[in-house]
Structure 1
């Protein structure tokens, strides 16, 4: 009896020690967000010269936010150091299909260390362009948002990445370095890129090529000040081209189907943006300059500004105005308004109204990922619902 009691006490002591040392948590979370979208002057495919008519459809890419689920873990290692990880999967709520280049954890898949001197992560993760943009736009990666003018912006994630970020008394700095920015490709029949279809979520540039340390490399950096009422930030983002995944293929620019056939061809962005918060009212905005140096040089400039206001604890109003200008004069003005009604802390209803004013050369669609024709003055209306868990 004494032997059994002693063994029981020893086992209990060991289990207690293990539990005390492994003070970790794993959280399951997610968002399901979808709605019904109506757009005037819609086209079935890019390149059409006349509209097919209006279109009505359920959103697959994003409503107010992209749908996703994920696991986030954190374990205390002592002395203010934590081991952390995240696995996040994007999906289309209208069909259940995987997003982000048909990857299971296409939104993020990383492990890292959180320390008093900053956070280090390794794996697929958002880069500093995305981090800064979420601080400076009121609409986020919605269906009607800056994604309609530049599809790279809501897809600014990098494979094979090491990152560092630190916040010291509201002064922030961060950087990412990717040895191969995107190891996924979408099959298709496009004439460019050896038969790979253009997809900003899978740009066919895996990198890690012997003898070419810069093929498909991406570097992003952020520096700024994030105060409780005022913030300002600067971002640098450069991605390089290289060999593609498919035999005989090459990579392409995630903003548009421009081939980046080797590591000497690049797309570089510079962003300055900020915010002002005063109680229930917020102003956010900025400017993004992009230069693609490939077979030819191509530039775009996006200017944006928006405001949000909590009319009541359960009603929020947002609005944003943006403009894009390009080297080949494909210019447009874009206007979006949104109203959100909070049914609870986790469930909301929303409506969005968008107006895209294209010039005679531009054909940006009011809804990101959809199509229209040059010179279209396109209206979009979105009614949606979001639930967080």
Structure 2
């Protein structure tokens, strides 16, 4: 089916992609595939961190750089992608990014030493930067406003499925053949997802790239968004969500591999099947936000993460699994709602607004994820969980501020 055919599935009268049309379904499948490819590649190294520590004789904090360096570079790449988004063809850049990231996963699998692996992962952060900000901008521009929360939830669900698949498959394959085949498999899956994305995604109907814009024209919306009464608090929520989530997932493998659990890589990887709950939560909470408002649903998501963290304070495996499940549900629900709220709040420059949100989001992963390594080295698991508890408390304060702002409108 060609692009002109897919466009015909959109509402001819409104120009939106509306629920129930073929174009709406194709766009959701394509962006689900993009989320899958991005996050399976990004997070496949998390269950491999103990192997990196052993094989390269490095500390857990150093091993965490295999993720933190990617998300740190990704944060700034996303920001500049958002900054220049008004002059960028959405589909073309996202397609190129997905293909490049798959190639770099294969390069990482062939790395001869730790530093080459880090270099490949840093370049992967550059490549992946073309997807999330533009995907958020595409959805906010093309989806009918009443269907945006659901569509954003499905995109985040693809991210959840990719994150789960990357972690679980990497853990299982690493037990069989080592970390190199594990990363190579993720790269091969990325090529398949990229092909599906290129074939399925309808072209933009409500966006035209603006050529010849001066640099100040790209920067102008940034200051407006940062002076907004609500958007900076939403950016803070993204920072807290990702920083808290990645910190727990970075170091849970070390805890489960040690006494009293002493679990194998495959068993640790299997824990991440709880990501399936994140797929459901993203779609469900996105629809709840459409019906009941974003702020109260976002607060509920943070409450779920806090409850999950509480379950992880005891050395009892079932409680730990329940805690990971609640934390995962709360994280994906929160990210779905927060990211879906950015576009409607932004007064123009939606790509720049998405870029700012994702800059905060991935800086949370890079900065807090690595900071967690220092807490792990000094205080072990209680230190990591205490740090996350403080972060979640700050996030809930930010949401309460958003609720006050909403009532004043």
Bin the TM-score by the shorter chain. Answer: under 0.3
TM-score w.r.t. length of structure 2:
0.25
Q: Larger Rg: 1 or 2?
A: 1
- Structure with a larger share of its residues in strand: 1
User: Which structure is higher in RCO with an 8 Å CA cutoff and minimum separation 6?
Assistant: 2
- Structure with a larger share of its residues in helix: 2
